[in-house]
Amino acid sequence: MPTITFLPDNVTVQVEDGENLLAAAAKAGVYIHAYCGGDGVCGKCKVQLAAGELRSDRANLKAEEYDKGLRLACQSAVVADVTIRIPEQVSKNGKSLKAKPKTTRAISARSLDHLIGSWQVAPPVEKRFLALEPPTLEDNVPDLQRLMRAIKKKCHDCAEPTYDHPELLMELPFILRQANWQVTAIMLRGKRAEEPDRIIAVEPGDTTGNLYGLAVDIGTTTVCGVLINLNSGEVIAEASAYNDQIGCGEDVISRIIYSQRPGGLKALQEKVVHTINAVIDTVCTKVMISPSDISYIMAAGNTIMSHLLLGLNPKFLREAPYVPTCSHFPLTRAAALGIHAHPSVRLFLYPAVASYVGGDIISGVHACRMYKSPELTLFIDIGTNGEIVVGNEEWMVCAACSAGPAFEGGGIRHGMRANAGAIENFHIHPQTFEPMIITIDRIKPCGICGSGLIAIVAELLEAGVIDQQGKFNRGLDHPRIREGADGYEYVLAWGKETLMGEDIAITEVDLDNLIRAKGAMYAGYVTLLESVGMTFDDLDRVIMAGNFGAYIDLEQAICIGLLPDIDRDKFYYLGNGSMLGCQISLTDHVRFRERMIVSSLITNLELSESAQFMSHYMASLFLPHTDMSLFPTVQAKLPEGRG
Amino acid sequence: MPTITFLPDNVTVQVEDGENLLAAAAKAGVYIHAYCGGDGVCGKCKVQLAAGELRSDRANLKAEEYDKGLRLACQSAVVADVTIRIPEQVSKNGKSLKAKPKTTRAISARSLDHLIGSWQVAPPVEKRFLALEPPTLEDNVPDLQRLMRAIKKKCHDCAEPTYDHPELLMELPFILRQANWQVTAIMLRGKRAEEPDRIIAVEPGDTTGNLYGLAVDIGTTTVCGVLINLNSGEVIAEASAYNDQIGCGEDVISRIIYSQRPGGLKALQEKVVHTINAVIDTVCTKVMISPSDISYIMAAGNTIMSHLLLGLNPKFLREAPYVPTCSHFPLTRAAALGIHAHPSVRLFLYPAVASYVGGDIISGVHACRMYKSPELTLFIDIGTNGEIVVGNEEWMVCAACSAGPAFEGGGIRHGMRANAGAIENFHIHPQTFEPMIITIDRIKPCGICGSGLIAIVAELLEAGVIDQQGKFNRGLDHPRIREGADGYEYVLAWGKETLMGEDIAITEVDLDNLIRAKGAMYAGYVTLLESVGMTFDDLDRVIMAGNFGAYIDLEQAICIGLLPDIDRDKFYYLGNGSMLGCQISLTDHVRFRERMIVSSLITNLELSESAQFMSHYMASLFLPHTDMSLFPTVQAKLPEGRG
């Protein structure tokens, strides 16, 4: 891994080979002007190559500039140790400007293993090769009994296995005889240790070498699938696809509304199945196996996605008092739902806790094992519906809070999903108030995604461009700060540097929406902790799950009050906990069985009409909070605090 | 119950009110000439009314005969105590001729209760009315959980109930709310005591007053259904119908052959389902309930019938070594098979032991509780496929022997099923060799059914008309004994007295077939007993199951060697054990669970290619047996014995 040294003041950072220099500077906390997101057109991010080499594009630079060692940071890839000097006009008092490094990600890499623990390759589905004794007149027990006898012989202390659907029985006599009594039984281990194993299918010959399982994360927006070789535990293919239901509504509420139309529920069920099938086909094609070679599917989704997949009407999930049909979903035949799978294959769907605390959260809690640790843990998944779990090995409480769509770009004038061109990182020059914007895929900016929004608000707050109420400093005279249709706003990128040719700005309305969103999350943490008589001081760990967590900066998130201001070493980033839980459950039946503990320990708290929650929410509608004693480190760096 | 006294020698018998006098005489062992089966046309059965009154038809009697007190026995119903004098020309040495009374039936009435024991009304399916607390924000657990909580509240020491198919979940939220949270849960008790109960359906309001179950005996020929009010345990309707599969073959072997045609298996499955549906519709119409009001179906059938009902291919049941697909059939949704039933309703099919010892036998063994008694019991079901079980509470062995179709009228020139016009009882005048024939429904004879055949052979043997090899006494000169197309024969009825106008006779070929049939059964008993080192002397009880058993006369059956010559008090007649087991299981879940003992104790022995069996079979091809020391009471009354 190459090392970059930024001059004038020797900030060093190690980066992946081929890392983009502008992105590396942003991550290292080194400010460079950048207006076009990294597209190479604004020409602002010129830096001086002081030593070493870069792989740079010469376009957008004059020949003499290039020869002098000038490079566009956004057009340069780091391939070896290199020393870079930041131009004087962007440095301050002879020092390159600090920015906050991405702290969360670094912590996650260090401690993910510790968090989720190890697991063995002993999946809940297994194959057993059996060489049966052919029947004789002295020993003419039924075919099924012969099969079971052979299975039992291989496992002395096992209970009598049970068997499966009549379809198995219809084929069994023919498979046994055609295979000359040499067959492979596909067995499902009992859901609990004391339950007998179950024969779900029988294949001719010895097929034990091929055993595959699929982990599926059924998101409202995206469905992800991971194909695992269950003999080795290895992930052998991954794929994802947009949930086809998006056409019926972007969020879960609009999906519920759609489901109430005539035929709506059926359409939604078919659409998510269609998406899952697309994912299955993609992973199978990648490794050249047939979908019918998959022997088990573990899936997790929020409660609405789970209901829709099973064809359960989600009507009452949306109406107070928000009652799901069930929380433990039946172990279903995947094929019965229309999924491309062998008729014997089961689809396990992680149980939900409540209408808005679903199987995706339970899967994440299951993966991170907070229910097995004495440490008091706050588990959070930030999104339109923020889910929060607090507890340890003895008890857990959970709640959902409707943060609104700001973190997913909704309700923000230039908000967008985290796609190419979304501003994902932002720094501001504390004197000039000029921006450094980094977009996803380094193309011209076309909007702001959730992590970018957090960065922008945190930077504007720290620079004193906005105040703690989310209002622009009326005293600042700067071309980027102006009054627009939605009141005051800061222009992040001028039209000439954006993809659509119009200015991209953040407005006071946007700020207000963000404050409500983060306020709801924070009020959720406090209310849940309070419900069990605890405070942030009691917390040993904060685990962030979900895709969004991967992209937010810990310091920025604390700065705006989205996360509590506590010891940074207590924060962990889990990644896609929903998928992780599915993968672990698919690979290790002992871990799989442990999920029952999660269900038994967890209690749901309904925040939506709680007076305590409302009171904490009101107190949180401030950057970072009305009670600054809760945010001492933020206090210290805000203009007022520094003042 | 009126008493009849037969003169000259004061034979008395108690009969049901309205009993036919000819039939009563036959049962009492009083010989009366009767050529036309009881149709009133031959005029042979004239008797003298000595005291009391009869309800008699005057047709076929001259007025002066009637006035003299002469009556046609076959046209007279006994309605009060009466004394009857048998005409001198049919008596012998001043005594009315003895015949053997129907012993089995008398024994059965006495001891059936003792045999099958009592059972409680506590069916494996039950209804529980639940008044649920409506959900609130403080208590918004999922609908299913709320339901389960209420169920558990009613039963403190029960395990958490399980729930059923997704269809239940699809409806549940709507049923609960439409019924204002007042619902009835239909529960299936765990198959074993330690298994949790299962919610199979939920109905709005309180429907606990209506709980019905159906017991079904799926015979190769006839499907019988009994509808039971499971709240009271009462049988409320019965129906039966010919198995629609008959068109595809009369016996199980021809059904198996048919099943191997393209589409044959599916056709047979649909035909038996069609028959079951006809039975269901009939019983439901009788008591004006809907088929969907039935909550559980218990069925039993032989192994081939069971395979065909479930759509399992019976191919290998017919090929050595005669291996069924399975012996424990899956608990199936009746509706999934096409049966008119609520989608939640389970069809339980009694397990089989082997290809030719099926669930009908297990159900019978289950009903008579031989597996709970220390007494050594021989359980037999006589038919084309004779099934035999020997054992007690410690062990049981079973076997099937192919007796051939003689007992069902097959392979007998004038053989027929036990329908109207079949000769079902027969006595012969020991001097005149003239017959007394009684037909089913007392119409002109049209053939001989199994019980008639046994009676005929026993009487011919005792009268010395045939010898122990089943050959006619060539020395007898009698118009009814003649040489026909199949060798010697005895004319039971002349053409003018028969339904079709042609003579009905029994031939030496018929006798040979009967001897093979009874020989196979007897050889089966001996081989099974021998296999466990026992003899008939060790037997405490002989239990006869099956419809056929109801109609055969114990003494006659022993006389021809179909049953062993042991203490008559050891014989019991169970009736339709298959149906009885289903009824008991449907009504009492404790008895139902006990069936597992039957399965665990019973071992099958394959007789078909057993040398021991063949040797015993050869020794049995004699009337009653080559070893007469086995039949001392028969020895004493045969012409040679009486010598």
**Is pLDDT at A226 greater than 60 in this prediction?**
yes
**Is pLDDT at B549 greater than 80 in this prediction?**
no
CB A84 within 8 A of CB A48: yes
**Is pLDDT at A33 greater than 90 in this prediction?**
no
CB A419 within 8 A of CB A404: no
Q: What span, in angstroms and rounded, lies between the C-alpha atoms of A556 and A562?
A: 9
Residue B548: pLDDT band with limits 50, 70, 90? confident
Q: What is the pLDDT of residues B481-533, one digit of tens each?
A: 999 988 999 999 999 989 889 999 999 999 999 999 999 999 999 999 999 99
Using a CB-CB distance cutoff of 8 angstroms, which residues of chain A are in contact with residue B177?
316
CB B169 within 8 A of CB B202: no
Distance of CA B117 to the CA centre of its chain: 19
Nearest to A313 among B170, B322, B325 (CB): B170
**Is pLDDT at A101 greater than 90 in this prediction?**
no
Percentage of chain B beyond pLDDT 70 is 95
∠ CA(A142), CA(A143), CA(A147), 5° rounding? 120
Per-residue HEC secondary structure of B60-125 comes to CCCHHHHHCCEEEHHHEEEEEEEEEECCHHHCECCECCECCCCHHHHHHHHHHHHHHCCCCCECCE
Residue in A with minimal Cα distance to B166: A330
Question: From the CA of A120, how many Å to the nearest CA of chain B?
Answer: 30
∠ CA(A295), CA(A300), CA(A304), 5° rounding? 130
Q: What is the pLDDT of residues B221-238, one digit of tens each?
A: 899 999 999 999 999 999
Q: Is A473 exposed, middle or buried, given 0-12, 13-18 or 19+ CB atoms closer than 10 A? A: middle
Question: From the CA of A145, how many Å to the nearest CA of chain B?
Answer: 7
Q: What span, in angstroms and rounded, lies between the C-alpha atoms of B600 and B399?
A: 16
CB A587 within 8 A of CB A228: yes
Residue in A with minimal Cα distance to B311: A170
Residue A301: Cβ within 10 Å count? 27
Give the residue-averaged pLDDT of B567-583.
Answer: 91
Residue A103: pLDDT band with limits 50, 70, 90? very low
With an 8 Å Cβ cutoff, is A162 touching chain B? no
In a mutagenesis test of the B interface, which of A323, A339, A606 is the best target, namely the one with the most B β-carbons within 10 Å? A323
| Residue B105: φ, ψ to 5° | -60, -40
Top pLDDT among A39 and A344 is at A344
Q: What span, in angstroms and rounded, lies between the C-alpha atoms of A508 and A412?
A: 10
Nearest to B321 among A140, A311, A325 (CB): A140
Q: Which of B172, B176, B258, B169 is nearest to B220 (CA)?
A: B258
With an 8 Å Cβ cutoff, is A269 touching chain B? no
Q: What span, in angstroms and rounded, lies between the C-alpha atoms of A2 and B533?
A: 89
Residue carrying the six token digits 């930041």 = A86
**Is pLDDT at A259 greater than 90 in this prediction?**
yes
Domain A212-354, CATH homologous superfamily name and number: Domain of unknown function (DUF4445) (3.30.420.480)
In a mutagenesis test of the A interface, which of B139, B169, B603 is the best target, namely the one with the most A β-carbons within 10 Å? B169
Q: Which of A414, A416, A425, A443 is nearest to A36 (CA)?
A: A443
Q: Where in chain B is the domain with CATH 3.30.420?
A: 362-398+520-642
Q: Which of A449, A546, A451, A454 is nearest to A222 (CA)?
A: A546
Fold of B362-398+520-642: Nucleotidyltransferase; domain 5 (3.30.420)
Q: What is the pLDDT of residues A446-485, one digit of tens each?
A: 999 999 999 999 999 999 999 999 999 998 999 999 999 8
**Is pLDDT at A31 greater than 90 in this prediction?**
no
Q: Please report, for residues A594, B293, B391, B582, the alpha-carbon distance to residue B126 in angstroms, rounded to integers and kept in the order given.
A: 33, 13, 34, 17
In a mutagenesis test of the A interface, which of B137, B147, B322 is the best target, namely the one with the most A β-carbons within 10 Å? B137
In a mutagenesis test of the B interface, which of A138, A140, A192, A307 is the best target, namely the one with the most B β-carbons within 10 Å? A140
Using a CB-CB distance cutoff of 8 angstroms, which residues of chain B are in contact with residue A328?
144
Q: Decide if the complex's ipTM is over 0.90.
A: no
Q: What span, in angstroms and rounded, lies between the C-alpha atoms of B82 and B4?
A: 5
With an 8 Å Cβ cutoff, is B140 touching chain A? yes
B11: enclosing H helix or E strand: strand B11-14
- Among residues 341-400 of chain B, which lie with CB inside 8 Å of chain A? 352, 354-355
Q: Which of B146, B127, B144 is nearest to B185 (CA)?
A: B127
Tokens, residue A294? 């998959």
Q: What span, in angstroms and rounded, lies between the C-alpha atoms of A510 and A515?
A: 9
Residue carrying the six token digits 């808005």 = A356
Q: Where in chain A is the domain with CATH 3.30.420.480?
A: 212-354
With an 8 Å Cβ cutoff, is A600 touching chain B? no
Nearest to A325 among B136, B140, B143 (CB): B143
Q: Which of B576, B470, B434, B340 is nearest to B45 (CA)?
A: B434
Q: What is the pLDDT of residues B74-85, one digit of tens each?
A: 889 999 999 998
pLDDT at B92: 52
pLDDT at A299: 98
Q: What is the pLDDT of residues B249-258, one digit of tens each?
A: 988 999 999 9
Using a CB-CB distance cutoff of 8 angstroms, which residues of chain B are in contact with residue A349?
none
**Is pLDDT at A637 greater than 50 in this prediction?**
yes
The bridge status of strand A504-507 relative to strand A125-131 is unpaired
B128: enclosing H helix or E strand: strand B125-131
Checking phi first, is residue B533 left (phi over 0); if not, alpha (psi -120 to 50) or beta? left
Q: What is the pLDDT of residues A536-577, one digit of tens each?
A: 999 999 999 987 777 788 889 999 999 999 998 898 888 899
Amino acid at A254: S
Tokens, residue B96? 């009315």
**Which runs of E-coded beta strand occur in B462-540?**
481-484, 487-493, 504-507
Q: What span, in angstroms and rounded, lies between the C-alpha atoms of A517 and A497?
A: 29
**Is pLDDT at B103 greater than 60 in this prediction?**
no
CB contact under 8 A, B311 and A140: no
Using a CB-CB distance cutoff of 8 angstroms, which residues of chain A are in contact with residue B144?
325-328
First to last CA, chain A: 41
What is the DSSP secondary structure assignment for residue B637, as one 8-state letter? H
Q: What is the pLDDT of residues B411-432, one digit of tens each?
A: 899 999 888 899 988 988 888 8
Using a CB-CB distance cutoff of 8 angstroms, which residues of chain B are in contact with residue A352?
142
Tokens, residue A165? 């659907």
Checking phi first, is residue A225 left (phi over 0); if not, alpha (psi -120 to 50) or beta? beta
**Is pLDDT at A114 greater than 80 in this prediction?**
no
A378: enclosing H helix or E strand: strand A377-381
Work out the widest C-alpha separation in chain A, in whole angstroms.
101
CB contact under 8 A, A316 and B608: no
**Is pLDDT at B106 greater than 70 in this prediction?**
no
**pTM of this prediction?**
0.85
Residue carrying the six token digits 């039209």 = A495
Amino acid at B235: V
Top pLDDT among A380 and B94 is at A380
CB A362 within 8 A of CB A381: no
With an 8 Å Cβ cutoff, is B316 touching chain A? yes
Q: What's the mean per-residue pLDDT of chain B?
A: 90
**Is pLDDT at A640 greater than 80 in this prediction?**
no
Residue in B with minimal Cα distance to A319: B137
Q: What span, in angstroms and rounded, lies between the C-alpha atoms of A71 and B203?
A: 76
Using a CB-CB distance cutoff of 8 angstroms, which residues of chain B are in contact with residue A356?
none
Question: From the CA of B142, how many Å to the nearest CA of chain A?
Answer: 5
Amino acid at A81: D
With an 8 Å Cβ cutoff, is A253 touching chain B? no
Using a CB-CB distance cutoff of 8 angstroms, which residues of chain B are in contact with residue A174?
313
A18-27, A94-103, A438-447, B296-305: the lowest-pLDDT one: A94-103
Using a CB-CB distance cutoff of 8 angstroms, which residues of chain B are in contact with residue A268?
none
Edge-to-edge strand ranges of the sheet holding B212-218: B234-242, B222-229, B212-218, B294-301, B346-349, B332-333
First to last CA, chain B: 41
Secondary structure class of A324 (helix, strand, coil): coil
Q: What is the pLDDT of residues A400-425, one digit of tens each?
A: 998 888 888 888 999 998 888 999 88
Fold of B3-99: Ubiquitin-like (UB roll) (3.10.20)
A102-116, A343-357, B234-248: the lowest-pLDDT one: A102-116
CB contact under 8 A, A143 and B316: yes
Q: What span, in angstroms and rounded, lies between the C-alpha atoms of B485 and A384?
A: 95
pLDDT at A464: 93
Q: What is the pLDDT of residues A120-175, one digit of tens each?
A: 999 999 999 999 999 999 999 999 999 999 998 887 677 788 887 778 899 999 99
Q: What is the DSSP string of B559-607?
A: HHTSS--S-GGGEEEEESHHHHHHHHHHHBHHHHHHHHHHHHHEEE---
What is the DSSP secondary structure assignment for residue B189, as one 8-state letter? -
CB A412 within 8 A of CB A418: no
Q: What is the pLDDT of residues A185-214, one digit of tens each?
A: 999 998 777 788 999 999 999 999 999 999
CB pairs under 8 A between A and B: 129
**Is pLDDT at A642 greater than 80 in this prediction?**
no
pLDDT at A89: 61
Q: Where in chain A is the domain with CATH 3.10.20.880?
A: 125-204
Checking phi first, is residue B18 left (phi over 0); if not, alpha (psi -120 to 50) or beta? left
Residue A111: pLDDT band with limits 50, 70, 90? low
**CATH number for region B125-204:** 3.10.20.880
Q: Where in chain B is the domain with CATH 3.10.20.30?
A: 3-99
